[in-house]
Structure 1
């Protein structure tokens, strides 16, 4: 069975931004969709959060992972441990994008393992991201991992002050 797991960003939850919209679109296409809530995302260290995330979900070579902001950074840690069909990192980053603490980041990544486990890989970033999760962050990951980088001018792709209730691009990227 095809499975999709959508990970919210820092301070987010499954009911905000485009997450419910994308989940509904994928469910219509016979995906088993999960949009879990991890309030500790980017609050507690990744070394504490990651084992719980790995235990809570099933990952296989038919799984699609979508992560937004801190959730995209979580995908990097996950991909060191699981093999999936596709990973889409929206407003993702692998180094501190601003002056905030970023407990979701690891000190280092096994880029070769991530590349081998990620399947089809997309980085969707914005030149106008107010938090620094911009095209430069996407480019740094793209240069290490390959895949496809998509650059837009869409802010943070949803935030407390940026309604972004639909994301048709993501629906088109997922087969």
Structure 2
């Protein structure tokens, strides 16, 4: 069966930033059908109206790997709660499940069905940094890990890419994805 990967950018970003294009190329070379959609309204439009659009735009099945960065990682929580299949892997890079700072976070749900999220993914990875400038740090990763299990990876690596943090490749992600 063909393997699929969907890579979600973060708040205010696009498919051409940081390591997203690099990871897309690496996965394509490995035989994945890769989507890196552009969602300018991620973390702008409330999740209640945004999520149905994302769900309608993609097919999720037992061969779909999900990767999200920052706001895109927070989006994965809602996606995993609401899909009706179990995906093999989800990787949340600089992810969070509660407000990481004083900014509004419309990508977050008020509450999560953690059991549903856990039931819809086989292998779950949380990659966070101790020194994230937006508060998407290892405590956020730990909060998700404690509710969902999986694997938490903690580094001292900022936001894993940002307007002022070049991050063109991300070898760890290439290694984590089956």
Smaller-chain TM-score bracket = over 0.9
Structure 2 residue 106 is the aligned partner of structure 1 residue 106: no
- Mapped to 2, the partners of 1:81 and 1:104 lie a distance apart of 14
- Mapped to 2, the partners of 1:24 and 1:60 lie a distance apart of 21
For the residue of structure 1 that corresponds to 2:175, the secondary structure is helix
CA displacement 1:76-119 (0-9 Å, x = unmatched): 00001223110000000000000000000000000000001011
Select 1:119's aligned residue among 113, 117, 122: 122
- Mapped to 1, the partners of 2:95 and 2:46 lie a distance apart of 17
For the residue of structure 1 that corresponds to 2:127, the secondary structure is strand
For the residue of structure 2 that corresponds to 1:79, the secondary structure is helix
For the residue of structure 2 that corresponds to 1:119, the secondary structure is strand
Alignment of 1:1-150 (within 5 A): 1-82=2-83, 83-150=86-153
Unpaired segments ≥5 residues, structure 2: none
Query: Superposition RMSD on alpha carbons, in Å?
Result: 0.5
Number of aligned residue pairs: give it: 175
Give me the TM-score of the superposition, normalised by structure 1: 0.99
Give me the TM-score of the superposition, normalised by structure 2: 0.98
CA displacement 1:110-134 (0-9 Å, x = unmatched): 0000001011000000001000000
- Mapped to 1, the partners of 2:55 and 2:88 lie a distance apart of 16
Structure 2 residue 159 is the aligned partner of structure 1 residue 159: no
Structure 1 stretches of 4+ moved >2 Å: none
